[in-house]
Structure 1
Amino acid sequence: MGQGRLCNSPSCPNIGPGVAEAPGTPYAMGVPTAVLCLAWALALACAHPLTQSKTEAAGGGHPHGAEPPSNDTDLAQLCADEGRFDATTLSENGTMLFFRGEEVWESSHGGFRLHARPLAASWPEVGGPIDAALRLYGWQHPQEHQSLYLFQGEQVWAYFGGQLQPGFPRRIGDEFPGVPGGLDAAVECHPEECGGKTILFFKGDTVYAFDLALRVTKPRSWPGLGPCDAALRWLERYYCLRGTHFQRFNPLTGEVPPSYPRDLRDYFIPCPGRGHWNASWGAAGDRCSEMPFQALLSDDTGRIYAFRGGLSFRLDSLRDGHHAWPLGQTWPGLEGEVDAAFAWDGRTYLIQGSQVSIFLSGQGYRRVLGYPRALQDELGVSSADAAFTCPHSANLYLITGDHIRLVNLTQTPRQAGEPVPLPHDHVDGAMCTNDGVFLFHGPSYHQYHSVAQLLGAKELPSQSIATHFFHCPQ
């Protein structure tokens, strides 16, 4: 793409001079040629849809009413003792459930509170402590894969929407052929991580891998992992809980990475003064606060992130809850604030001031050697307030102040086109999906169907980020 033209492809319509001639840009049928050319570039791109999730039920993960208040005394006791949990899993609404004895502890959607209730209050048919718990979830078969399974002795109970399903309880071996009773733990393994829809059942030192499609069970031995009191899949990672500690493990090999085990109370239980539940984050760590986000990102894998104050949130993970994490938790070695972000060709670009870091996207993120490097050398600009690409497109849109510029990412060296005015004085972050272009400013966002509408229209009405992206109460 040549400097000064927004469209230099043979596919572009012949609409006259580019944006380099602004002001006084010629009009075609009442629309600036710069607008038409940007729109044409976007029309050649595909985009991932913004993940759509059903509205949360009243009471979050609690199937029988409003969320009870947190009991600080009980939480303090939970944080002080060395007892183990019988089971743990995620609810249908993405809250964490910790089972111990006759009680179940449930996290709030922000993750900063736990409240306890009798197990019988939500699952009266079970009665007594359980051995293991499991959430099955999948878009194609919602009745089959939005179920919560509770295991006790030789039996299993299946619940959907808080209601016991017909034909349950059943023998575990009848529901999952080849799987024994008296389990220690269970966790669903997703196809992209296990090569097929699989459930991992734990009993002693043996792991039973149950193939949901073939309905066959294969025993495995993972001596490096050891027995698990409970197991959990969260944000595409797998955890084995034992006592007050946990280990992350590879669901195909059982391999445990360095630096484990770690203490549950520093990560999964919001114990005061401990771990990543850091009170000093304040509004930055509260998904429902109106503190502005500094950048947003939709990557090639469909993951959607929001950044502010050195933290990141997953927006596409309602089923796993919306939690804040320090940047280094997802992007190793990254610290500070992210000013703009975009993804292209299996890589994630995170812009911080005048520098950019590139991470390889995949099951995890790995920083490309030689980065960070100067943004001017990488993209031909010195800074950016916001950035976005549409998946499968090499067109990058950079926003600075009230102007937008186009960069062809396949070009070497890369150069930014001339700035085109926006109907906004300032933008904090931007993102493109199949639902259009989203511009974020303060606590609100504006949605445009296309770049053409963005550039050719007045500012559209704003909507609440907290309400529409984080499902917070209005």
Structure 2
Amino acid sequence: MLALALCLAGALALAHPLATQPAGSGSGSGTNEDPDLLRRCADEDGFDAVTMDESGTMLFFKGDSVWKGFDSRREAINASWPEFQGPVDAALRIHHLAKEDVHDNVYLFQGKHVWAYAHGKLRDGYPHLIEDDFKGVPGDLDAAVECHPKECAAETLLFFKGSRVLSYDLKTGVLKERMWPAVANCSATLRWLERYYCFQGIRFLRFDPVTGAVPPGRYPLDARDYFMRCPGRGESCGHGQGVRRSDRCSGQPFQAFSSDDSGRIYAFRGGKYYRVDSKRDGWHAWTLNHTWHDLQGEVDAAFSWEDKLYLIQGSQVTIYRSGQGYNRVAGYPRPLQEELGVAGVDAAFTCPHSKDLYLIQGNVIRHVDLLQRSKGPGPARPSPHPHVDSALCTAEGVHLFHGPSFHLYASVGELMAATGPAAAQDTAAVFFNCTAAGGSGAPPHGSPHQG
């Protein structure tokens, strides 16, 4: 994985911009004389459209060409979508579990028509008139992007044409016009990791998909410093200090795992973290303070309770509200001894929406009732493991991590009753879609996973 995360976490932490995604299938190694590289990085009109495909690869469209991934080689659009001849006016991916016919479809817009592709195949009957699929939406669009219900009130598509911004409710078919002067004239738009971006030529800005507001004082920024690898660009962002693509597949242990109440899963290692649940949106790593402001160093353990994320570092704990922005709770960090009655832990976990916290110290497990934490932890009970690096509880059960492996228990009760470790499974393979720990066989970016 490339290093953009570090730049974004540092110089642009307030703006929450993007981290890089891994390379596409091409080598993309080029030089200043490479015509493909020059075209991708040209200081011209930017891209015609940018979107994610159904498996999480970022697509950049320009003319009759498409680049798949952060630094891939150019391909002809009709090599992947043979029924479509470029250029693309706008493109979007719809991720809508409630509507199987459109879920994970990629839509390509041109003139008055739209092409819908499912798993790379043109759907029957397409192309359609845009008006037939999205009543009231005009042709000759400049950009389009989907807004998920977690970020908008409903499953919404945003269409851009000149200074006009149109909001289309995918369930009701109601179309509304938005007055968003700061987000006018988008040549391409993109949703990535709950953030929304408007490209204006080669520059971009981030906007709120409900209000159209743009964070003050940070934008616009040059896309070549953040969305693609270009010679001579981004040196101030420390491209040489980044997280390699193979790091997630290295087999090195993670110091902490946690999941918040919305289902976002985080894996922590060496002062950085991965979003584990977002495989479909590409692989990426950030420094801690990219999401949790003022957090430095390394996380030793983490757990979630009542829409708050607890991050333990040595003998201290810091609490962040899990709503937008991850705001730190006043008065933290504070000593772990005062908060939970222990001086330190190797791992910690809560199961979804549970008040029961389990602390692992060496080869023992202790229970804390978070509603009565002033009573301190319960008695030590033996763990089937002499040591673990981290722990995580999801709907699938309790995962205990050690080295390159994890051990899955169907429930806390099964864990407590175990007299020996459950079968070891490969963390890199299961959680990060790597073919084997060590990374040499890591699959290309965008491996399919659960919706």
Q: CA deviation at 1:444?
A: 1.1
Partner of 2:222: 263
Match of 2:263, SS state, is: coil
Deviates more, 1:329-338 or 1:233-242: 329-338
Q: Do structure 1's residue 95 and structure 2's residue 54 form an aligned pair?
A: no
- Give 3-state SS (helix, strand or coil) of 2:290's partner: helix
Residue in structure 2 matched with residue 450 of structure 1 by the alignment: 411
Q: Secondary structure at the match of 1:139?
A: coil
* 2:95 aligned residue: 137
| Alpha-carbon contact 1:375-1:382 (below 8 Å) kept | yes
1:441 equivalent in structure 2: 402
CA shift for structure 1 position 224: 2.0
- SS of the residue aligned with 2:98? coil
Aligned to 1:320: 281
Deviations 1:143-194 (A, max 9, x none): 3222100011111111011111111111111211111111110000111211
Does the aligned pair in 2 maintain the 1:267–1:275 contact within 8 Å? no
**CA 1:432/1:358 → structure 2, altered by over 3 Å: closer, same or farther?**
same
- Equivalent residue for 1:167? 125
Number of the residue aligned with 2:295 = 334
Flag the 1:359–1:79 CA change in 2: closer, same or farther, 3 A: farther
Q: Which residue of 2 aligns with 1:409?
A: 370
Question: Do structure 1's residue 105 and structure 2's residue 67 form an aligned pair?
Answer: yes
2:360 aligned residue:
399
Specify whether residues 443 and 140 from structure 1 end up closer, same or farther in structure 2 by C-alpha distance, changes over 3 A only: same
Are residues 314 and 230 of structure 1, via their aligned partners in 2, closer, same or farther at CA, if it must alter by over 3 Å?
same
Task: Say if 2:427 is the partner of 1:465.
Answer: yes
- SS of 1:251's equivalent? coil
Distance 1:121 1:214, change over 3 A: same
Q: CA deviation at 1:414?
A: 4.9
Change beyond 3 A, Cα 1:418–1:265: farther
Query: Where does 1:28-177 land on structure 2 (aligned, <5 Å)?
Result: 67-73=25-31, 76-77=37-38, 80-83=41-44, 84-107=46-69, 113-177=71-135
Equivalenced residues, count: 407
SS at match of 1:191: coil
Q: Calculate the aligned-residue CA RMSD, in Å.
A: 2.2
- Name the TM-score, length of structure 2 as normaliser: 0.85
- Secondary structure of 1:194 counterpart: coil
Deviations for 1:129-155, whole angstroms, at most 9, x for unmatched residues? 111101011223333222100011111
2: CA distance, partners of 1:276 / 1:399: 38
Q: CA deviation at 1:364?
A: 3.2
1:244 to 2:202 alignment: yes
2:149 is aligned with what amino acid? P
> Which secondary structure state, in structure 2, belongs to the residue aligned with residue 292 of structure 1?
coil
Normalising by structure 1, report the TM-score: 0.81
Matched, 1:366 2:327: yes
Structure 1: tracts of 5 or more residues without a match: 1-59
The offset of 1:275, in angstroms, is: 7.2
Work out whether residues 255 and 269 of structure 2, in 8 Å CA contact, stay in contact via their aligned partners in 1. yes
Q: Which moved more, 1:198-207 or 1:462-471?
A: 462-471
CA distance 1:464–1:398, change in 2 (3 Å): same
Query: Equivalents in 2 of 1:339, 1:61: separation in Å?
Result: 30
Look up the match of 2:445: none
Q: How big is each residue's C-alpha offset from its partner over 1:183-241, in whole Å with a ceiling of 9 and x where there is no partner? A: 11000011121111110000111101111111121111201223111111111111111
- The farther-off stretch of 271-280 and 223-232 is 271-280
Matched to 2:48, the amino acid is: D
Going from structure 1 to structure 2, the CA distance change for 1:442 and 1:271 (only over 3 Å counts) comes to farther
Equivalent residue letter for 1:297: S
SS at match of 2:101: helix
Counterpart CA distance in 1 for 2:311 and 2:226 is 25
Counterpart selection for 2:309 from 340, 344, 348: 348
CA offsets per residue over residues 91-148 of structure 1, 9 Å max, x none?
10011111111111111xxx6x433211111012111211110101122333322210
Shift of 1:285: 7.2
SS of equivalent residue, structure 1 residue 413: helix
| Aligned match of 1:310 | 271
**Partner Cα distance (2:363, 2:230) in 1:** 44
* Residue type of the alignment partner of 2:356: N
Give the 3 Å change call, closer, same or farther, for CA 122–284 of structure 1 in structure 2.
closer
**Shift in alpha-carbon separation, 1:346–1:226, aligned structure 2, 3 A:** same
CA distance in 1, matches of 2:247, 2:220: 28
**Distance change in 2, residues 1:293/1:104 (3 Å):** same
2-structure distance, mates of 1:97, 1:263: 18
Q: Which has the larger radius of gyration?
A: 1
1:269 to 1:156, Cα distance in 2 relative to 1, 3 A? same
- Note the residue ranges of structure 2 that are not aligned, 5 or more in a row: 1-21, 437-451
2:146 partner SS: strand
CA contact (8 A) 1:287 1:323 kept: no
Question: Which residue type is aligned with residue 221 of structure 2?
Answer: R
- Contact preservation (8 Å) 1:79, 1:265: no
**CA–CA distance in structure 1, aligned partners of residues 26 and 100 of structure 2:** 28
Could you give the per-residue CA deviations for residues 293-334 of structure 1, whole angstroms, max 9, x where no partner exists? 111011111111111122111111122122112212222222
Separation (CA, whole Å) in 1 of partners of 2:209 and 2:298: 33
CA contact (8 A) 2:258 2:267 kept: yes
**Given the superposition, is the C-alpha separation of residues 400 and 244 from structure 1 closer, same or farther in structure 2, using an over 3 Å criterion?**
farther
- Displacement of 1:247 in angstroms is 1.2
1:424 aligns with 2:424: no
How has the CA–CA distance of structure 1 residues 338 and 412 changed in structure 2, closer, same or farther, with 3 Å as cutoff?
closer
